[in-house]
Structure 1
Amino acid sequence: MKEENVILVNEADEPIGLMPKMEAHEKAVLHRAFSVFIMNDSGQTMLQQRAKDKYHSPLLWTNTCCSHQRDGESNIEAGKRRLSEEMGFETELKELFSFIYKAPFDNGLTEHELDHVMMGKYNLLPKINPDEVADWKWMHPSEIKKDIAENPDNYTAWFKIIFERFYNHIMDNTDKL
């Protein structure tokens, strides 16, 4: 399988080129990414545990799905594509905000991403792709926030940043889906 390219961007999210995904993570180059949060009617967030064979952050808990946009693909199109590929369902998504973060990993790779955060609503069970996802669960955001504080090593770097910086923003938008 051919390695996918990521979209290199400047801090204003303007595309400045393409680069193979692994090279971008080895060189810590800023690139476009997205994180999807799916909520149910009970106000719970669907979390996924990353598959054990992921190239970074294996078996850590994170938001419903995340990845990188393809060249020519909108943020919403990318989020819907990856939600279907990882979690096996489709739903409408709403883009909330974006932010830049940089997180080095023990394996020498670094995530340096301009991350677009999206939300959607879904109430059924996912059909997880075991190549991407080890497990999943529903949790109330207040429970997630508490568990991150008590067990930070169980969660991905970007998920902790989103919850730390944007918890109130996510909660304010839950009723608007």
Structure 2
Amino acid sequence: MPSSPNEIFDIVDETDQVIGQAPRGRVHAEGLMHRAVHILVWNSRNEVFLQKRSMSKDQMPGVWTTSASGHVDSGEDYDTAAVRELGEELGIQIQGPEAMQLLFKHPACKHTGAEFIQVYHLVWDADMTLDPEEIDAGAWYQPDALDALIREDRRNYAPSFRLIWGIVRQQDAQAFFGESSDSLQ
């Protein structure tokens, strides 16, 4: 379903509490804080799926980003939005949010486009059906190869994705090395 500037989003305050509603176009034009979800889909070969955003998107057209992502609709919660976005963008139908793992929540900032984001992890080895109105292409990447591609030309990747990927990779390193982020630098 294509985005409409008249979609209604919840506007939130610095603590992610709803303080009102406004149309998508106004929320983006005025930089109002709102909510979004991002899902990283992994397969059993430890590859992450990325989507290349459609050139018809109103924001960040033609760049690579998380497997699936989208705004939380007014009155919707993060978990429901994540399940919905998986179905809409990738054709992945899951029974509920329990099929995913919540990785983290990040506060609204310039890199997220004033969005509070919740980031999820899903392991999926079955087929996907990409929505051609949302996605121009998709590909699976090994983490180290993706790191190299991002270093080569970061402009090919959405700022929110680069932020998310950096956090995920730091968490991976912490789990692997058992060290704090300060000692990894």
- TM interval, short-chain normalised: 0.7 to 0.9
Q: How does 1:16-95 map to 2 (within 5 A)?
A: 16-91=19-94, 92-95=99-102
Give the C-alpha shift of residue 88 in structure 1: 1.0
RMSD: 2.0
Paired with 1:170 and 1:90, the residues of 2 have a C-alpha distance of 27
**1:49 partner SS:** strand
**1:148 partner SS:** helix
Q: How does 1:90-101 map to 2 (within 5 A)?
A: 90-91=93-94, 92-100=99-107, 101=109
Give the C-alpha shift of residue 6 in structure 1: 1.5
Q: 1:107 maps to which residue? A: none
**Could you tell me the percent identity over the aligned residues?**
26
Q: Does 1:141 align with 2:143?
A: yes
Show structure 2 runs of 5+ residues with no match: 176-185
Q: How does 1:92-131 map to 2 (within 5 A)?
A: 92-100=99-107, 101-103=109-111, 111-131=113-133
Give the C-alpha shift of residue 36 in structure 1: 0.8
Structure 2 counterpart of 1:154, from 138, 153, 156: 156
Paired with 1:10 and 1:172, the residues of 2 have a C-alpha distance of 31
The structure with more radius of gyration: 2
Paired with 1:72 and 1:25, the residues of 2 have a C-alpha distance of 18
Q: How does the TM-score come out when normalised to structure 2?
A: 0.83
Contact 1:99/1:116 (CA < 8 Å) preserved in 2? yes
Paired with 1:51 and 1:117, the residues of 2 have a C-alpha distance of 21
- Higher fraction of strand: 1
Q: How does the TM-score come out when normalised to structure 1?
A: 0.86
Alignment deviations for residues 35-81 of structure 1 (CA, whole Å, 9 cap, x no partner): 11111111111100001100011111111111111223221211111
Paired with 2:173 and 2:66, the residues of 1 have a C-alpha distance of 14
Paired with 1:64 and 1:70, the residues of 2 have a C-alpha distance of 19
